[in-house]
């Protein structure tokens, strides 16, 4: 496993990150525990979670798995806040109230004393960033988090946060977590260059494009039962005829290289400038083991040019920013 520097934090993190969105549904505790053990054994040292994943069940299962194997201090642990976690009017967003409440809840659910990297899951335009950063600073001073990060934020918003950190002495963002795969390359326009300029690490999510780049779908209007696209409306929106067509040609390229399409999709992300790591979200041990070799697949200039022909740099054929209302740019 290759380790890369996570921006200004100086942390060395594995090129593959174990994502836990499936923990709790459909992945139960025993399967999750086996995956956590196998991931650590393979050299993965960063596990990504969020309070919203399966209404907190992902955090609870991950906490139990780490408590069971006693390997919490072998890994770096993340979680996130922003999304609604209760019925009250203040049970969401990036207010000081919600950030602190959400962090305390995540610590309890994951049975840990601290979270290594704590993310603002989305930006909150209704709250001044000084308020959010002050809350994160308090959590860091209290020893409950060690680094702060953001996910799916517009570049200008992150830059503003960096300047506010300089002005008020708040901790600086060390990592951004954007959607990034061959079907949606818009992060290349502003987010990735900004991260390189400000020494911010990048953990890319959805490298397989919900299975489209793994060759899972033959058509966009007849999805396999139980596939990611059938689980939620926002996932279904990401399975398009244009994307499936790209996925078909991408799979043919993988076959010619002698690897799986999923491995090639992972490798493509890791070969892009500014990327620290990519998050894989297997449902079971078999899927995890099939994805691990993707970190070692090498792409040559011809492979990269082929992918650029499928979807040119900075463009998209399927939107993976459909949970970020601020993204307004058009596709091909």
Encode the chain in three state secondary structure. Answer: CCEEECHHHCCEEECEEEECCCECCCECHHHHHHHHHHHHHCCCCEEECCCCHHHHHHHHHHHHHHHHHCCHHHCEEEEEECCCCCCCCCCCCCCHHHHHHHHHHHHHHHCCCCEEEEEECCCCCCCCHHHHHHHHHHHHHCCCEEEEEEECCCHHHHHHHHHHHHHHCCCCEEEEECECECCECHHHCCHHHHHHHCCCEEEEECCCHHHHHHCCCCCCCCCCCCCHHHCCHHHHCCCCHHHHHHHHHHHHHHHHHCCCHHHHHHHHHHCCCCCCEEEECCCCHHHHHHHHHHHHCCCCHHHHHHHHHHCCCCCECCCCCCCCCCCCCCCC
Residues forming a β-bridge with 177: 151
For residue 15, CA distances in Å to 23, 154, 250, 297 come to: 21, 24, 22, 12
Q: How many CA atoms lie within 13 A of 115 on its CB side?
A: 32
Tell me whether residue 53 is one of the annotated catalytic residues.
yes
Catalytic residue among 53, 118, 147, 198: 53
Supply the residues annotated as catalytic: 53
């Amino acid at each position: 496993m290759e380790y890369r520097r996570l921006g200004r934090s100086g942390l060395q993190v594995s090129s593959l990150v174990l994502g836990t969105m499936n923990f709790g549904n459909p992945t139960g505790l025993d399967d999750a525990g086996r995956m956590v053990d196998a991931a650590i054994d393979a050299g993965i040292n960063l596990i990504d979670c969020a309070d919203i994943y399966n209404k907190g069940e992902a955090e609870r299962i991950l906490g139990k798995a780490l408590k069971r194997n006693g390997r919490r201090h072998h890994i770096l642990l993340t979680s996130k806040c922003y999304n609604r976690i209760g019925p009250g009017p203040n049970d969401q967003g990036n207010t000081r109230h919600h950030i602190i409440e959400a962090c305390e809840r995540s610590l309890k659910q994951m049975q840990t004393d601290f979270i290594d990297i704590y993310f603002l899951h989305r930006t909150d335009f209704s709250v001044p960033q000084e308020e959010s950063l002050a809350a994160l600073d308090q959590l860091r001073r209290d020893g409950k988090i060690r680094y702060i990060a953001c996910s799916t934020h517009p570049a200008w918003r992150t830059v503003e946060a960096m300047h506010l950190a300089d002005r008020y002495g708040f901790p600086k963002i060390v990592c951004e977590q954007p959607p990034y795969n061959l079907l949606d390359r818009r992060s290349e326009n502003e987010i990735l260059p900004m991260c390189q300029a400000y020494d911010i690490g990048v953990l890319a999510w959805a490298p397989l494009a919900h299975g489209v780049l793994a060759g899972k779908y033959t058509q966009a209007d007849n999805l396999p039962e139980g596939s990611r696209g059938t689980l939620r409306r926002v996932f279904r929106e990401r399975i398009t005829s244009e994307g499936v067509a790209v996925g078909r040609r991408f799979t043919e390229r993988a076959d010619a290289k002698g690897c799986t399409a999923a491995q090639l999709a992972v490798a493509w992300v890791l070969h892009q400038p500014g990327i620290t790591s990519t998050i894989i979200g297997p449902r079971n041990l078999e899927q995890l083991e099939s994805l691990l070799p993707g970190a070692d697949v090498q792409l040559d200039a011809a492979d990269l040019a082929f992918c650029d022909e499928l979807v040119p740099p900075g463009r998209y054929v399927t939107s993976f920013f459909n949970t970020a209302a601020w993204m307004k740019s058009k596709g091909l």
